[in-house]
């Protein structure tokens, strides 16, 4: 994937060593993005990148510590548990200035992860925007995509992705990222609407348990 000047777009996935981030990272790497797996521990990131390269059959991804990854990323994706959301963002705040941050975080509060429990800031994405300030364009996406469905990068995930944010160009960048992961991105309005995508995830977790499903998802009909 190239930008308007023809340069390959670099995506940094902070917490990309984990379940959600690594599933997305592999798909982006296969579909034309340069991808950096970020971690608190550079060696752990390099090991995950090597593991994914082994699965993909090529030198697709590299690993680095989160600060280096955020420095090099044109688009920076955050995939850490809600408990690590604030500290991870504070650790890369300077590196994010002028960039797009894609927040994948769901504010789950264990042990009641099947109940909607919104943070005081209303949504994790809005908290991120408040914490990072106006120089960072926060876009919220992928909250309803189960990592279980992304384990095999050759399998298409049966889920739409609600994309919310206050900057139209940033949302367009992220919708391209969604398409590169093999899903349909749906512009779902301003960042304030992230509250809905974040709230749907505990509902899906409830549905998974109730119906014995492994990674239920969502579809928007009528468009």
Ligand X SMILES: NC(=O)c1ccc[n+]([C@@H]2O[C@H](COP(=O)([O-])OP(=O)(O)OC[C@H]3O[C@@H](n4cnc5c(N)ncnc54)[C@H](OP(=O)(O)O)[C@@H]3O)[C@@H](O)[C@H]2O)c1
Is there a contact between 10 and 73 (Cβ–Cβ < 8 Å)? Answer: yes
81 binding ligand X? (CB under 6 A): yes
Q: How far is the CB of 78 from ligand X (least distance, A)?
A: 8
65 vs 173, beta carbon nearer ligand X: 65
88 binding ligand X? (CB under 6 A): yes
Nearest to 69 by CA among 21, 105, 123: 21
φ, ψ of residue 215 in degrees (nearest 5): 95, 55
Which uninterrupted H or E stretch holds 128?
Answer: helix 124-132
8 vs 220, beta carbon nearer ligand X: 220
Judged by phi (left if over 0) then psi (alpha if -120 to 50, else beta), residue 132 lies in: alpha
Distances in whole angstroms, Cα of residue 87 to Cα of each of 17, 81, 154: 17, 11, 34
- Please identify, among the stretches 14-22, 69-77, 115-123, 168-176, the one whose residues bind ligand X according to the rule CB under 6 A: 14-22
20 vs 173, beta carbon nearer ligand X: 20
24 vs 170, beta carbon nearer ligand X: 24
Position among 25, 29, 39, 77 found at the interface with ligand X (CB under 6 A): 39
CA distance 178 to 160: 9
- Please identify, among the stretches 52-60, 102-110, 156-164, 176-184, the one whose residues bind ligand X according to the rule CB under 6 A: 102-110
Q: How far is the CB of 84 from ligand X (least distance, A)?
A: 3
- Please identify, among the stretches 3-11, 75-83, 114-122, 173-181, the one whose residues bind ligand X according to the rule CB under 6 A: 75-83
152 vs 169, beta carbon nearer ligand X: 152
CA distance 140 to 200: 13
Distances in whole angstroms, Cα of residue 20 to Cα of each of 11, 42, 67, 71: 15, 18, 19, 21
Residues that bind ligand X (CB under 6 A): 15, 17-21, 39-41, 44, 79-84, 88, 104-106, 108, 143, 145-147, 201
């Amino acid at each position: 994937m190239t930008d308007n000047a023809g340069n390959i777009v670099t995506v940094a996935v902070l917490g990309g060593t984990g379940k959600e981030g690594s599933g997305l990272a592999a798909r982006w790497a296969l579909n034309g993005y340069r991808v950096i797996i970020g971690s608190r521990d550079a060696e752990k990131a390099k090991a995950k990148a090597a593991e994914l390269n082994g699965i993909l059959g090529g030198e697709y991804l590299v690993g680095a510590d989160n600060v280096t990854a955020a420095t090099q990323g044109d688009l920076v994706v955050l995939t850490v548990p809600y408990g690590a959301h604030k500290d991870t963002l504070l650790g890369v705040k300077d590196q994010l200035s002028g960039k797009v941050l894609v927040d994948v975080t769901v504010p789950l509060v264990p042990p009641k992860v099947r109940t909607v429990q919104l943070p005081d800031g209303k949504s994790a994405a809005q908290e991120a925007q408040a914490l990072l300030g106006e120089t960072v364009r926060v876009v919220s996406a992928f909250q309803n995509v189960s990592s279980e469905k992304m384990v095999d990068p050759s399998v298409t995930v049966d889920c739409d992705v609600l994309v919310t944010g206050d900057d139209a160009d940033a949302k367009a960048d992220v919708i391209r990222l969604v398409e590169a992961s093999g899903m349909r991105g749906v512009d779902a309005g301003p960042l304030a609407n992230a509250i809905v995508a974040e709230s749907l995830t505990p509902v899906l977790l409830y549905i998974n348990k109730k119906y014995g499903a492994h990674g239920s998802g969502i579809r928007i009909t009528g468009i």
